[in-house]
Structure 1
């Protein structure tokens, strides 16, 4: 479950602008590192027109229980494939399961009441689209954390390129001077393509911060829900600031 880290690095060049863009698939209740990217960005792009990957962070994430971590999984229709934007949720029963799981495992957490209403509202509303659900939750959490960032869906940009070319074209379309990338993209991003388009390429880097959790032991890299309910909005913002200080 470990997610790799890398030293932050960027291309030294005359950039087209001072706009920083980051992009990621719309994940379900993602971890702190996802919001660290949002915090570092002027524009955050939900990659909703890329291929859905079964068994990924797009439809599930982890929370802490007395017995360790467990999955919160949104069921999708069997054999879902194609763009993430087209993936549909299989049934409604999962909403009550997730609501009860959060209540059981975080109901006595120090800051449960500060965000519980968000999940009550979300799980009370029927949604067919996994993408719509994930985008709603990410945007609402970012808003509560006062993260000043413009959100864009890649499907609205009309870009047909794939992999590295897609990211470069997204940056061009948004007049970005800097692309803030997760380290997982290092294997396919072509630095020369960014240089040719006057875009600095920077890789995310930080040491995952620890904080007060319920139950014994500290488990890193859980859903942002864990931080929100244990340390609250202010505490979660402090964690994101610590991640900045560690090199993001």
Structure 2
């Protein structure tokens, strides 16, 4: 019996859409920016096959197709734009559980990300950072906790919020703490909209706050939820499967993940591990600032400079898997 193929490679032709209204959606995209001009030159050898005007086989339409499908970097200097379920071959997988108002180290790992993955299908953990975090306070850090309905073994995406009234208390705490911050007026309305929304599930609230903060940090990244992806195995095997799906050969994790990762399994699949750490650079002299608090304080006190502070404190080290 012949074994099942491990990889199927195909290509898209300029007129494929005329044969079928739906096309397979690739999971791997390769950046051809540096070779696009050479490819166009090579097409001159097929002058008889090329057409002019708005024909699918015109050089202009072929070039447009590369840009639309994410194979060429845009002219403004941004990253490669791929489909929601595609990343560049050899890119890095950065997978996080959706946390509540995360600390700066959470965002520092995403500063060069293409499509971060939210591990929202994972198990909800009590007394973790999925439903609580600290903000600065005059006498000391203030803990904000989102009350949830607990059920043994429930996933993060299935975890429901138990007390909607608490959102109003969190909003008042944020307003009292940061109303004098230089960039509070700029973000006040967006934050209030999130906290006035009657969320029923923790994952939805966390994702809304993550998107708000990513946009404010000038990191408008798409977020991919694992609850919407087919994934196999647990822990290391799950991450290997996600790397396969995303076309990633590098896995970026925090120091806490080193304790449970099976480095031998990762080496078997040629996946390199990047360990990300973060040290808090000084950025303002407001009272109550200390390491480990929510990144919201950094954002509201530093504004446009916040991303530079994130990058200044970020360190990434490649670990050899054996």
Tell me if both proteins adopt one fold, taking TM over 0.5 as the criterion: yes
**Structure with the larger RCO, 1 or 2 (CA within 8 Å, 6+ apart):** 1
1:120-173: CA deviation from partner (whole Å, max 9, x where unpaired): 110111110100110111122112222253321111221131011111111111
Contiguous gaps of at least 5 residues in structure 1: 1-15
- The separation in 2 between residues aligned to 1:203 and 1:121, in whole angstroms, is 35
Give TM-score, length-normalised by structure 1: 0.87
Q: Which moved more, 1:204-213 or 1:221-230?
A: 204-213
Match of 2:287 in 1: 215
CA distance in 1, matches of 2:301, 2:218: 18
The one of 77, 84, 100 aligned to 1:28: 100
Alignment partner, residue 188 of structure 1: 260
- In structure 1, the partner of 2:306 is 236
- Counterpart position of 2:120: 48
Deviation per CA, 1:200-245, whole angstroms, max 9, x where unpaired?
Answer: 11100232222215325x411110111111112x12111112024x
Q: 1:227 aligns with which of 295, 298, 301?
A: 298
Name the counterpart of 2:50: none
Q: Find the aligned partners of 2:127 and 2:249 in 1 and give their Cα distance.
A: 34
Secondary structure of 1:150's counterpart equals: coil
User: Which residue number corresponds to residue 133 of structure 2?
Assistant: 61
- Higher alpha-carbon deviation: 188-197 or 177-186: 188-197
Could you tell me which runs of 5 or more consecutive residues in structure 2 were left unpaired when the two chains were aligned.
1-87, 318-322
Report the equivalent of 2:246: 174
Q: Aligned-pair RMSD on alpha carbons? A: 1.8
CA offset digits 1:162-202 (Å, max 9, x no partner): 01111111111111021111110001112222222222111
1:133 paired with 2:205, answer yes
Q: Counterparts of 2:296 and 2:180 in 1: how far apart (Å)? A: 14
Q: Which runs of 4+ in 1 moved over 4 A?
A: 78-81
Q: Which stretch has the larger CA shift, 159-168 or 25-34?
A: 159-168
Partner of 1:3: none
8 A contact 1:46–1:152 mirrored in 2: yes
TM-score by length of 2: 0.68
